[in-house]
């Protein structure tokens, strides 16, 4: 098979690297890719634009002239712009939902309406298109409360406001244009407490197959403090319930997530005439009562979650992605390797605010010789050597028999890596680790 992977992050490096482990995969083309994908054997980067509608034809032409069997779309932005529709018009096989399906991530109001129609458990909410009525609603609800820009905002559109002043500020900022058109519509939502977990499921619109659960760490600072980021580390599987509860409870919760959330979402998409083929990512809160509630849906693999999931996947990835894209997922079982996987993100100092780029990265080979897998995100090549080019630079990942062993290996490996301004959280996985310092 020849496969195109669209995107340039750690997620796309992890997908490309995993695909290339299969003897069925001859060649992978990353558009545009990064410094990590550029150095993979049997892989090349092609610098086409992925975030402009008028460039999708160029990608289609490339795929047709190079006899590409499958196109895997990594990020949400091209999906929301309709890359899948454009490529499918050329009879290409695409993993990733159409523009209509991608609304589940690109419009929080749309997703909320779908959940309400399907009676899917989620925070109570209301949608506003002007600041005055949003403020009036806020006064009637009180704090804590959550304010969300409707559209895509690179993970920065959500304010969890502990006070009314903070909530007011978020509403003013959104309607003043802080998030562009994405913030001209605002969802105000009930504040939920509990433990968050990410469930990434493959669906071809008829069958839905959850992957192993994962836990992300969204805040920049240790102890889950400071601003939200794209994700500073992850592990899989995530024990879905508190350890005191028995395995039966875990099974029951997985079952409820399927029956109450994943299946009704897929059925409702189908009812709306959407043939959804790709990832349905459910960001869930498990409330203190043990009930799963949807915080958000995404239309693509979570990053870094997928970096902690793929190393445990036993079934060849290309088989699953192709079956999903072709509507044949019912015939596929997914099998997993035993153990746990840990991913610690190495970021540029200053992220998620401003940061400097262009610093040489050393020690990747040393880390990999210690048994870790280094997925590259914000890297590029300068004189054939990796240098930093983004906020999240590397995902240092390791598999172990237990979460503790996986984290020990990941933290040992990250200690071998250096670039100027390297920052990472030392407490990734604190919920599942016995020892809480690297
Ligand atoms: P999102 O971009 O929707 O994933 O939101 C970012 C983060 O905000 C989530 O990971 C949660 O930690 C938090 N969050 C979002 N919605 C709620 C909610 N209704 N209650 C509490 N926290 C929330
Ligand atoms: N890590 C969170 C996300 O991919 O949205």
pLDDT digits (tens), the chain, 438 positions: 999 999 999 999 999 999 999 999 999 999 999 999 999 999 999 999 999 999 999 999 999 999 999 999 999 999 999 999 999 999 999 999 999 999 999 999 999 999 999 999 999 999 999 999 999 999 999 999 999 999 998 777 899 999 999 999 999 999 999 888 888 899 999 999 998 999 999 999 999 999 999 999 999 999 999 988 999 999 999 986 555 555 677 788 889 999 999 999 999 999 999 999 999 999 999 999 989 999 999 999 999 999 999 999 999 999 999 999 999 999 999 999 999 999 999 999 999 999 999 999 999 999 999 999 999 999 999 999 999 999 999 999 999 999 999 999 999 999 999 999 999 999 999 999 986 555
159-179: b (≥16 Cβ within 10 Å) or e: bbbeebebbbebbeebbeeeb
Could you tell me the distance, in angstroms and rounded to a whole number, from the CA of residue 414 to the centre of ligand 2?
21
- Atom 3 in ligand 2: which residue has the minimum CA distance? 302
Nearest alpha-carbon partner for 205 in 255, 260, 274:
274
Ligand 1 within 6 A of CB of 195: no
Q: Which residue spans within 291-407 are E strands per DSSP?
A: 292-298, 340-348, 373-376, 379-382, 385-388, 392-400
The C-alpha R_g of the chain, in whole angstroms, comes to 21
Query: Rounded distance, CA 234 to CA 197, Å?
Result: 10
Ligand 1 within 6 A of CB of 158: yes
Q: Which atom of ligand 1 is nearest to the CA of 193?
A: 21
In this structure, are strands 94-95 and 70-73 parallel, antiparallel, or unpaired? Answer: parallel
pLDDT score, position 68: 98
DSSP, residue by residue, 395-426:
EEEEEESSHHHHHHHHHHHHTT-B-TTEE--T
pLDDT score, position 285: 95
Could you tell me the distance, in angstroms and rounded to a whole number, from the CA of residue 119 to the centre of ligand 2?
25
Residue 435 CB contacts under 8 Å (≥ 6 apart), including other chains: 404, 408
Asked if residue 336 lies in contact with residue 210, where contact means CB atoms within 8 angstroms, the answer is no
Pocket test for ligand 2, best of 298, 347, 391 (most atoms within 8 A of CB): 298
Query: Rounded distance, CA 436 to CA 194, Å?
Result: 21
Q: Which atom of ligand 2 is nearest to the CA of 11?
A: 4
Asked if residue 392 lies in contact with residue 366, where contact means CB atoms within 8 angstroms, the answer is no
Find the residues whose C-beta lies inside 6 A of ligand 2. 216, 230-231, 298, 302-303, 305
> Which structure tokens are listed for 268?
């409702």
pLDDT score, position 244: 53
pLDDT score, position 435: 66
**CA dihedral angle for residue 61, residue 62, residue 66, residue 70, rounded to 10 degrees:** -90
Q: Which atom of ligand 2 is nearest to the CA of 234?
A: 1
Angle, helix 99-106 to helix 108-117, in steps of 10 degrees: 100
Ligand 1 within 6 A of CB of 287: no
Could you tell me the distance, in angstroms and rounded to a whole number, from the CA of residue 352 to the centre of ligand 2?
14
Could you tell me the distance, in angstroms and rounded to a whole number, from the CA of residue 296 to the centre of ligand 2?
10
| Sheet containing strand 195-203, strands side by side | 208-210, 195-203, 278-286, 292-298
Query: Rounded distance, CA 79 to CA 106, Å?
Result: 9
* Alpha carbon of residue 358 to chain centroid: 25
Query: Rounded distance, CA 241 to CA 249, Å?
Result: 7
Give the residue ranges of DSSP H helices in 338-402.
Answer: 364-369
Ligand 1 within 6 A of CB of 196: yes
Query: Rounded distance, CA 345 to CA 351, Å?
Result: 12
Q: What angle do CA 403, 375, 353 make, to 5 degrees?
A: 95
Query: Rounded distance, CA 371 to CA 142, Å?
Result: 50
């Amino acid at each position: 098979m020849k496969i195109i992977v669209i995107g340039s992050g750690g997620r796309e490096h992890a997908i490309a690297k995993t695909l290339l482990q299969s003897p069925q995969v001859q060649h992978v083309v990353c558009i545009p890719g990064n410094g990590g994908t550029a150095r993979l054997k049997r892989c090349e980067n092609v610098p086409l634009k992925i975030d402009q509608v008028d460039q999708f034809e160029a990608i289609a032409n490339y795929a047709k002239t190079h006899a590409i069997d499958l196109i895997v779309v990594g990020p949400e932005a091209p999906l929301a712009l309709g890359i899948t529709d454009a490529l499918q018009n050329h009879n290409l096989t695409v993993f990733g939902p159409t523009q209509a399906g991608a609304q589940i991530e690109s419009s929080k109001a749309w997703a909320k309406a779908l959940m309400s129609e399907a009676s899917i458990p989620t925070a109570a909410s209301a949608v506003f298109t002007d600041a005055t009525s949003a403020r009036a609603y806020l006064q009637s609800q009180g704090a804590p409360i959550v304010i969300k820009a409707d559209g895509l905002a690179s993970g920065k559109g959500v304010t969890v406001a502990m006070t009314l002043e903070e909530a007011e500020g978020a509403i003013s900022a959104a309607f003043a244009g802080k998030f562009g058109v994405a913030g001209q519509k605002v969802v105000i939502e009930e504040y939920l407490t509990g433990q968050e977990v990410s469930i990434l499921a493959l669906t071809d619109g008829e069958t839905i197959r959850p992957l192993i659960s994962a836990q992300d760490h969204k805040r920049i600072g240790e102890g889950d403090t400071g601003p939200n980021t794209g994700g500073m580390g992850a592990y899989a599987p995530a024990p879905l319930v508190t350890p005191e509860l028995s395995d039966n409870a875990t099974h029951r919760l997985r079952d409820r997530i399927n029956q109450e959330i994943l299946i009704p979402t897929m059925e409702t998409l189908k009812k709306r005439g959407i043939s959804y083929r790709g990832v349905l990512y459910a960001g869930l809160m498990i409330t203190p009562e043990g009930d799963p509630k949807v915080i958000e849906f995404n239309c693509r693999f979570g990053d870094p979650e997928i970096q902690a999931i793929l190393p445990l996947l036993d079934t060849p990835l290309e088989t699953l992605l192709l079956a999903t894209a072709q509507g044949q997922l019912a015939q596929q079982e997914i099998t997993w390797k035993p153990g746990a996987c840990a991913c610690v993100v190495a970021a540029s100092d200053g992220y998620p605010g401003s940061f400097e780029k262009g610093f040489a990265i050393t020690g990747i080979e040393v880390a990999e010789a210690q048994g870790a897998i280094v997925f590259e995100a914000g890297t590029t090549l300068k004189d054939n050597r990796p240098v930093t080019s983004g906020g999240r630079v590397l995902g240092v990942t390791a598999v172990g028999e237990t979460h503790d062993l996986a984290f020990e290996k990941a933290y040992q490996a990250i200690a071998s890596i250096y670039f100027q301004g390297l920052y990472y959280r030392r407490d990734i996985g604190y919920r599942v680790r016995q020892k809480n310092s690297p």
